[in-house]
Amino acid sequence: MSIDPVTAGWLGIAAIGILVVLGVRVAFAAAAVGLVGLIWMRGWQVGTGIAGVIPHAESVHFSLSVLPMFILIGYMAYYAGITRGLYDAGTKWLSRIPGGLGVGSVFACAGFAAVSGASTASAAVFARIAIPEMLRAGYDRRLAAASVAAAGTLASLIPPSAILVIYGIIVEESVGRLLLAGFIPGVISAVMYAVVIIVRVMISPELAPPVTSRFTLREKVVALKGTSGVLLVVGIIMGGIYLGWMTPTETGAVGAAVIFVMALAKREMTARNFVDSLMETGKLTAMIFTIIYSILIFVRFLGYSGLPQEFAAWVVGLDVPRVAIFISILAIYFVLGMFLDGIGMLMLTLPVVYPAVLKLGYDPIWFGVIIVKLVEICLVTPPVGLNCYVVNGVRPDIPLSDIFKGVWPFVVADLIVIAFLYVFPDVVTFLPNTMFGKG
């Protein structure tokens, strides 16, 4: 029985879904299905040849080298103890407002996000630093844990964001434009999380007793010194890209070097910490690259099947407003994100969805930021909300069910941000268009 190529593409997607549900890792499922599909469509010799050259062909792209650099910045900052300075400054300046320790944790997470491209790393770091302080002050444990889990997602959007880089690689868009585009929405998201905490505490004051400690203006100013390293790296990354002095990869390398020098100057970077930061960077980079290679094998199979083009033509031909189609796409991502990790979800769906989005007339940079906002939501929604699992792993005394229940107000805040960015897309495209001109 012969199967037409488009049907084969749909069968491939279904096969991956079944394998993932059965517990097969998305990288292995995608590689296996893509290889079988290529062999079926192109023959054994050609199919295996295409699958075999993809890892080398993709790894030599200069744009991919930005990933390990950004990941290294985050681990260097963590092992150098820079995160503690962020938290101290945030809490001293904001502790007097309702839910001040939680708000301070959110903005400290936002600061750490500016030197770390990994959301799970941000959640793990502040689960160790912020949650004990909030619990000691009498905060509700559900609010404390959920605040950290949600704030950790900011690393997905605020540059240097690994997920934005991966999006740019998949759809072949400018990584520099994407990184600039994520900055303002990331700041808006942090403010919204802070508003959620303040409103919840004002409605239910028992969630967060007022902090009795008072800090002098001098103490607050001195605390700002602990943020100098982060501000310097942020300036290098944003300024280097915005002014056109450096490529994203070069800003990552310079940022990592600056963090390393600062750690040496503070005498907090021991030989063991240095080795650990390199090892953790290597592990995470290897994992991400494995997923990229595997998904690209599957993407090549989809390309030969013609499914993305057929799907795009079908979507454009629907007799409904484009906003309805867009909402449907977002709903699909919201559901998928409950079962797939962010990188796997993007790499499996974008080859099919992205051409349709372009046909509908949406800006690819803007769409990338919207999708990454959805990835943020997926990081805290059950049953595969990785940030919630990370926080629970660091604080097993706080039940996972409590963390998942506590994050829903932050999910609502994220949905409000997405609606805002849809109505005002220039908020996303302002910085990249100012630097690079309209794409």
CA distance 232 to 110: 15
Q: Which amino acid is at 28?
A: F
Residue 365 has a pLDDT of: 93
Distance CA 185, CA 439 (A): 19
- Per-residue model confidence (pLDDT) at position 438: 64
Distance, CA of 19 to CA of 41 (rounded, Å)? 21
- C-alpha of 148 from chain center: 15
Q: What is the pLDDT of residue 59?
A: 65
Look up the pTM and report it.
Answer: 0.79
Neighbouring C-alpha atoms within 13 Å toward the C-beta of 71: 24
Residues in Cβ contact with 77 at an 8 Å cutoff, skipping those fewer than 6 apart: 83, 112, 115, 116, 229, 230, 233, 259
Residue 49 and residue 31: Cα distance in Å, rounded? 14
- The pLDDT of residue 165 is 82
pLDDT score at 428: 93
Which amino acid is residue 101, in one-letter code? L
- Buried/exposed 370-379: b ≥16 CB within 10 Å, e otherwise: bbbbbbbbbb
**pLDDT computed for residue 155 by the predictor:** 84
pLDDT at site 184 = 92
Residue 216 is given by DSSP the state: -
Distance CA 182, CA 370 (A): 9
DSSP character at residue 238: I
CA 432 to chain centre: 19
Range 236-239, long-range pairs (CB < 8 A, 24+ positions):
237/114, 237/159, 237/160, 237/179, 238/159, 238/180, 238/183
pLDDT at 201 (0 to 100): 92
Give the SS3 label for residue 4. Answer: coil
For residues 253 and 258, what is the distance between their CA atoms, to the nearest angstrom? 9
Q: 66: which residues sit within 8 A by CB, 6+ positions away?
A: 160, 165, 175, 247, 248, 249, 252
Q: What one-letter code names the amino acid at 175?
A: V
Q: List, in sequence order, every beta strand (DSSP E) within 135-293.
A: none
Residue 30: per-residue pLDDT = 81
pLDDT computed for residue 233 by the predictor: 77
Question: Mind listing the pLDDT tens digit of every residue in the chain (439 residues)?
Answer: 567 888 888 888 888 878 877 877 777 888 888 888 888 888 888 888 888 887 777 666 666 677 787 778 777 777 776 766 777 777 778 777 888 888 888 888 888 777 776 777 778 778 888 888 888 888 899 999 999 999 988 888 888 787 888 888 888 888 888 888 999 999 999 999 999 999 999 999 899 887 766 777 788 788 777 777 777 777 877 777 777 787 777 887 888 888 888 878 777 777 888 888 888 888 877 877 777 778 778 878 877 887 767 776 777 677 788 888 888 888 888 877 766 667 767 877 787 788 888 888 899 999 999 998 988 888 888 766 778 888 888 888 888 889 989 999 999 999 999 999 999 999 999 988 887 666 5
Contact 418, 185 (CB under 8 A): no
